[in-house]
Copies of this chain bind each other. A is one copy, B any other.
Amino acid sequence: MTIECVAIIGLGLIGGSIGLAVQEMLPDIATTGWDADTEVRRRAAGRGLVGMVCETVAEAVGEADLVILCVPVGAMGHAAEAIAPHLKPGTIVSDVGSSKNSVGAALSAALPDAVIIPAHPVAGTEKSGPEAGFAELFRHRWCIVTPGNDAPQDAVDAVSGFWEGLGAKVEVMDADHHDLVLAVTSHIPHLIAYTIVGTASDLEDVTRGEVIKYSAGGFRDFTRIAASNPTMWRDVFLSNRDAVLEVLGRFTEDLSLLQRAIRNGDGDTLFDLFERTRTIRRSIIEEGQDDARPDFGRKDH
């Protein structure tokens, strides 16, 4: 199964990065794109995010072997309905949504006859929109593919090969497990960051000016992810509710234990945890998912 033309629906951070990456790393594949927003289409064309920014969704997907929906999770169903009448037979429909169970269900409902291979590139920044994308976003990052049980293997291979072509490493897993893993490694960290930044903004005894001034003590690391796209993240929490609530329950239990240790002056419990959490950092650096340099090496990976 060869992919000759990819259509990207939604030309923001992820859609734009895919378009740029394909043009740079898989130059034999033609790219078309469409976004519901006229202004986004104009800016996407200006940056050359895809080979051809189309004025209609029909035009964008009509010749595609692979259509990738890059819209917020809550808009996946609408986007799938919009492309449905215009697909040629055999076209693979994929997406990049941050939660997979509910997106898989929405795509299947809107496209009962299509070949659906959901995927999630675990890579991003706190920016959004057509100016935010860059071709290297997926390099050395993982892309999780979550095909249903009856998905044809050659389509799974085609989507996997496509992502590998953009520099990503691919793992296949079922949607339920994806949603639990990402609740831990992405959704709960974002929820916590949003919460603490909100808490800090609302205190009466500490001004916002003070919070900003002294943010270098640790707080600023949270503000980066708490500056992420509100629409995207609202949709993630609503669509991955069960897994998010489950992991959140564990987190609040663990936090209560530490709260009690602080109240009781139990330094050993604190020290033991703080010692244990160091090792995970080391493994992340060894696995190439972060960097020990002061600039986190964000420049080259």
A-side residues, CB < 8 A to B, are 98, 122-126, 141-142, 144, 171, 177, 180-182, 184-203, 205-206, 208, 210-228, 230-231, 233-235, 237-238, 241, 244-245, 247-248, 250-252, 254-255, 258-259, 262-263, 265, 267, 270-271, 273-278, 280-284, 287, 289-290, 293-299
Contacts and interface: CB of A to CB of B under 8 A. Distances in A.
Given A211-B280, A219-B185, A199 B245 contact: no
B223 A284 contact: yes
A277 B231 contact: no
A244 B193 CA distance: 17
A273 B182 contact: no
Nearest to A294: B298
Given A191-B258, A201-B276, A220-B284, 16 more contacts: A126-B281, A144-B214, A177-B205, A185-B200, A185-B210, A195-B273, A198-B276, A202-B250, A208-B283, A212-B284, A215-B290, A218-B225, A235-B267, A237-B262, A241-B262, A294-B299
Contacts of A252: 252, 255
Among A144, A247, A281, chain B packs the most CB atoms within 10 A around the CB of A281
A96 to B, nearest CB: 13
A168 to B, nearest CB: 11
Contacts of A237: 262, 270
B225 A221 contact: yes
A211 B203 CA distance: 33
A193 to B, nearest CB: 7
Contact of A234 (B122, B263, B267, B290): B267
Given A201-B277, A251-B196, A274-B234, A122 B214 contact: yes
Indicate how many identical chains form the complex: 2
Q: Which of A216, A294, A298 has the most CB of B within 10 A?
A: A216
A199 B251 contact: yes
Contacts of A142: 213-214, 216
For the complex of A and B, the 4 pairs showing the least CB-CB separation, nearest first, are: A186-B217, A230-B274, A227-B281, A295-B298
A133 to B, nearest CB: 12
A199 B277 CA distance: 10
Contacts of A182: 214, 217
Contacts of A208: 280, 283
B206 A270 contact: no
A289 B212 contact: yes
B296 A123 contact: no
A181 B205 CA distance: 8
30 contacts: A122-B214, A123-B216, A142-B214, A142-B216, A171-B213, A181-B211, A185-B215, A189-B219, A192-B255, A193-B218, A195-B273, A199-B247, A203-B247, A211-B280, A212-B289, A215-B289, A220-B289, A221-B224, A223-B281, A227-B281, A230-B275, A230-B278, A231-B271, A234-B270, A238-B265, A245-B263, A248-B255, A252-B255, A295-B299, A296-B298
